[in-house]
Structure 1
Amino acid sequence: MQVSLPPAPVQTRAKQVQFDPCVGVGDDLVTRVGFDPGSRERSVAEGDTGTFTTIGCQFWREASENGQYSASGLSVTSSDLNLDHYRATPDFVVLHSDPIGGHDAVTYRTPRVPNSCAASTESPDGTFTIDLSVFPAPADLTSACDEVRRITETLSTALTPS
């Protein structure tokens, strides 16, 4: 890992989230999915709410083609939530419930965040979630949702010790 990071949040729940994506997702995997490992930073959305715990990491990429600038943000989190949380919460619109990388999974959108698509897979902690945000937001996020599935398949290999 190329950058120095603050530690994961202090957890107060009896069952601790063990997988820290900022430590467990290697630079090689981040590069393989097209993001800059040097942009690695703690997720602003991580923490222990007393109800659930999320440990996360963020990565960025920028591109310019034919005078058009685009940027993407990738949030990678490990949580003690389960997939039913995403299926049952009205804030999420589930697009697919097909397995990803051999794990039960859901691919979903959050309508109040129109420029992103996410996928969550079952993990030893509960869920491993990848959220891809694209700026400026395309009119159709189908390609972003396809890309988040591919990214999730690659990054979820970090969950399995080699």
Structure 2
Amino acid sequence: MIRHRHSRGARTSRSLCAATALVAALALAGCSSTGGPTTTSASSTAAKSSGEAPFPTLTAPALQPPQQYNVGRPDVVFDPCTWIDDETLTKLGYDPQSRSRSVADIHGEYTFLSCEYKSPDSVYSLGIMSGNRTMAEGRAKYTSDGDQIQDTTIDGRQAMIVREKAGDFCSVVLQDKVGYIDFDRNIASYLITSGPVPERCSGMVDLVKSIIPRIGDN
């Protein structure tokens, strides 16, 4: 489950934003005959996000991001629900059919677009939040929570590995051009019936490296 750690105050206009995005998506994008996600070139319907992906993105109406209302910050570009292809998810051990849009944080001062994935056995859940808050703001939030922060770089990008004080979550926070992307994983250890439970951050850096090509030069 994605926990919206970055929220402050009421999420105003969220229903209106989602409805507006859905209407726009229905007008611009189509679904496959089976109702599953289809793809489109970024140049044809790039209006669904404020930037363009250098590859086809998913066009299923239910997955499209809400409209953003940023004041004093750039729009969020990378959308974790429509920019990560099924092949990448499958290679990482997650079920593409589990893809679900989480409620976005839409504020006048910042935005986070969120998506959640699960492994076929539901042992692993992965939440990805793409936002326009700065790395310094992210660090301040994790520090105030008493989380353990390990600085690193991943493919030349500034990053933090965060082991939370409360709970068994591991986050990798990766800098992008408008802010940062938070990869947040939880292991349901009670579902593991054989073998040891993996260390909570085991394999997370490799996971992020595998998704970076889907972020592109953003």
TM-score greater than 0.5 by the shorter chain? yes
- After TM superposition, the score normalised by the length of structure 1 is 0.81
Asked if 1:36 is matched to 2:92, the reply is: no
What does the per-residue CA deviation read over 1:96-138, in whole Å, with 9 as the maximum and x for residues that have no partner? 11101221100102323x1210001111221112110111369
Q: 2:75 aligns with which of 8, 12, 16?
A: 16
Contact 1:128 1:156 in 2 (8 A): no
Higher strand share: 1
> Cα–Cα, structure 1 residues 88 and 117, in superposed 2: closer, same or farther, change >3 Å?
same
CA-based RMSD of the aligned residues comes to 2.4
Report the residue type matching 1:122 in the other structure: Q
Q: CA deviation at 1:33?
A: 1.2
Contact 2:95 2:120 in 1 (8 A): no
Contact 2:64 2:82 in 1 (8 A): no
Structure with the bigger RCO (C-alpha within 8 Å, sep 6+) is 1
Structure 2: state its 5+ residue gaps.
Answer: 1-31, 38-59
Percent of paired sites with the same residue:
22
Partner of 1:67: none
| Bigger Rg over Cα | 2
Residues 22-101 of structure 1 correspond to what in structure 2 (within 5 A)?
Answer: 22-44=81-103, 46-63=104-121, 71-89=123-141, 90-91=144-145, 93-101=147-155
Q: Distance in 2 between matches of 1:142 and 1:99?
A: 23
Instruction: Tell me the SS of whatever aligns to 1:98.
Output: strand
Q: CA deviation at 1:141?
A: 8.1
> Cα–Cα, structure 1 residues 61 and 100, in superposed 2: closer, same or farther, change >3 Å?
same
Higher helix share: 2
- After TM superposition, the score normalised by the length of structure 2 is 0.62
Runs of 4+ in 1 over 6 A off after TM superposition: none
Report the residue type matching 1:56 in the other structure: S
> Cα–Cα, structure 1 residues 10 and 96, in superposed 2: closer, same or farther, change >3 Å?
same
